[in-house]
Amino acid sequence: MTYHFKMFPLFDLSLQLNNFPMKEAKSELRKIVAFSEKEYEVFIENKKQEIVNFHLQNNPFYQELVDSKEYKNWENLPVLNKQNLQKPLQERLSKGYSTKNSYINKTSGSSGTPFIFAKDKYCHALTWASNIYRFGWYGIDFNTSCQARFYGIPMDFIGNKKERFKDFLSHRFRFSIFDLSDAVLEKILKKFKNKKFDYINGYTSSIVLFAKYLQKKNIVLTTICPSLKVCMVTSEMLFEDDKILLEKQFGVPIINEYGASELDLIAFQNKEGQWQVNSETLFIEILDENNKVVPNGNSGRIVITSLFNKAHPFIRYDIGDIGILDEKSTLQKPILKKLIGRTNDVAVLPSGKKSPGLTFYYVTKSIIEDDGKVKEFVIKQTKIDSFEIEYVSEVELNLEQIKKIKKAIELYLEPDLNFIFIRKDSLERGNRGKLKQFKSML
């Protein structure tokens, strides 16, 4: 007898068996989504006060941080940063919560400051309810839709098997992204020919590499995998020209996702093409260097409050990114206009000017990829006036390309900067397979 596991709601069932109360979480999320504007205002103020008061009464770590057990006003609450969290998890847990009755995980460390965190079971169930709700905008059902997953995977035996089992329950087929040579990309292509994938999900740079391979072979993915509906990219910047390439080579909509493992989905592209912020389980502020809220349309540090996490405080938590909320944003429907990059990815130049490292990436990218032979590249600042550009390409950059890059950088940044161009077979990725596009070594 043949069993078709796809007919069973294995994903929901696996969460329920792990004591994540999915029914209650989905029900609460439906209520929040249905609030009127006035109801939402009351909800958000109540949740902010409720979560602060809970941690002031039940979390010694947060009491010490605030230096009080009494909530006075929101603006005077300290901004929590990743350095604050560099202490054993046991010292940060709320009363009544432990590693046994909470969801425990570790951040990827892409910010350079990894740490272990906790979520209570209900909060984590809401995280999944939020994911299910947003993916549902595009007809994706975690119980039945088959995912082509471009993610890293633990290399140790137990971690690897655990992740593979999760993939099975979630109808995911995982492609290892640590080797994306042409020979491996050809194997991935064959898998798309033989399996009915509904959607692609994974790291932007890996998915872009696959699209470039398809472009080279003059293949549109939906012609060999017509079941494909949509592609969600996450964890790394999605540049506009990469999005155009992905749409062309995959033949499906490309959806931009922004999230953090310690929080939730932070923003997810809606059907109108806007990067809609998750205002159901999170409260997001854009703050200046004095921790004051900036007007919509201005850039600042992205600071996030997890409204439901009682196991561990993430209240006014500086995630380490810089972004801009759209001028059209409302309290109930904030729109992320732009994600500029990480606060620690800033280049300091000889003139004293500070510039987001991604400025170099934007300037260089448009020139370096003109001929389509450069697959990917990263930029490292080695001295105040010196940079290395490591790139993977079929051929060496020629003198004309290097002159163009230097001229563009002089125009957008400043003159007299030194660049070394290093051609490599592959670029160094983090232990999760992420590609850090700019890195300051200063």
How confident is the model at residue 170, as a pLDDT? 75
Query: Domain check: are 416 and 320 in the same one?
Result: no
Q: Which helix (H) or strand (E) holds 344?
A: none
- pLDDT above 90: percentage of residues in the chain: 57
Classify residue 427: in a domain, yes or no. Answer: yes
Query: Domain check: are 265 and 335 in the same one?
Result: yes
Query: Domain check: are 332 and 416 in the same one?
Result: no
User: Mean pLDDT throughout 321-327?
Assistant: 94
**pTM, entire model:** 0.81
- CA-to-CA distance for 174 and 16, rounded, in angstroms? 23
Local structure of 282: helix, strand or coil: strand
Read off the tokens for 41.
């205002």
Query: Domain check: are 244 and 265 in the same one?
Result: no
252, 275, 298: which is the final residue of a domain?
Answer: 252
How confident is the model at residue 3, as a pLDDT? 40
Query: Domain check: are 365 and 315 in the same one?
Result: no
Query: Domain check: are 207 and 153 in the same one?
Result: yes
Query: Domain check: are 28 and 109 in the same one?
Result: yes
User: Mean pLDDT throughout 126-150?
Assistant: 94
How confident is the model at residue 169, as a pLDDT? 74
- pLDDT above 70: percentage of residues in the chain: 92
Residue type, 107: T
342, 372, 407: which is the final residue of a domain?
Answer: 342
252, 287, 321: which is the final residue of a domain?
Answer: 252
pLDDT band of 308, cuts 50, 70, 90: very high
How confident is the model at residue 200, as a pLDDT? 98
Query: Domain check: are 172 and 111 in the same one?
Result: no
Q: Cα dihedral sign for 244, 246, 252, 258?
A: negative
Classify residue 170: in a domain, yes or no. Answer: yes
Is residue 328 over pLDDT 80? yes
Is residue 244 over pLDDT 70? yes
Classify residue 89: in a domain, yes or no. Answer: yes
Is residue 6 over pLDDT 50? no
Please identify which residue in the block is written with the tokens 């099975």: 168
pLDDT band of 113, cuts 50, 70, 90: low
Is residue 4 over pLDDT 50? no
Q: For residue 371, what is the domain's CATH number?
A: 3.30.300.30
What tens digit of pLDDT does each residue of 40-79 get? 999 999 999 999 999 999 999 999 999 988 888 999 999 9
How confident is the model at residue 398, as a pLDDT? 87
Q: For residue 49, what is the domain's CATH number?
A: 3.40.50.12780
Q: Domain range for residue 360?
A: 346-440
User: Mean pLDDT throughout 270-277?
Assistant: 95
Task: Identify the top-confidence range among 5-14, 84-93, 292-301.
Answer: 292-301
Is residue 429 over pLDDT 60? yes
In DSSP notation, 414-432 reads -SS-EEEEEEESS----TT
How many domains does the structure of the chain reveal? 3
Task: Identify the top-confidence range among 125-139, 331-345, 384-398.
Answer: 125-139
Query: Domain check: are 337 and 352 in the same one?
Result: no
Query: Domain check: are 168 and 231 in the same one?
Result: yes
Is residue 165 over pLDDT 70? yes
Q: For residue 232, what is the domain's CATH number?
A: 3.40.50.980
Classify residue 337: in a domain, yes or no. Answer: yes
pLDDT band of 366, cuts 50, 70, 90: low
Task: Identify the top-confidence range among 24-38, 69-83, 165-179, 421-435.
Answer: 24-38
Query: Domain check: are 240 and 222 in the same one?
Result: yes
Classify residue 272: in a domain, yes or no. Answer: yes
Classify residue 2: in a domain, yes or no. Answer: no
Classify residue 134: in a domain, yes or no. Answer: no
Classify residue 62: in a domain, yes or no. Answer: yes
Query: Domain check: are 63 and 99 in the same one?
Result: yes
pLDDT band of 309, cuts 50, 70, 90: very high
Residue type, 160: N
Say if residues 421 and 362 touch (Cβ distance below 8 Å): no
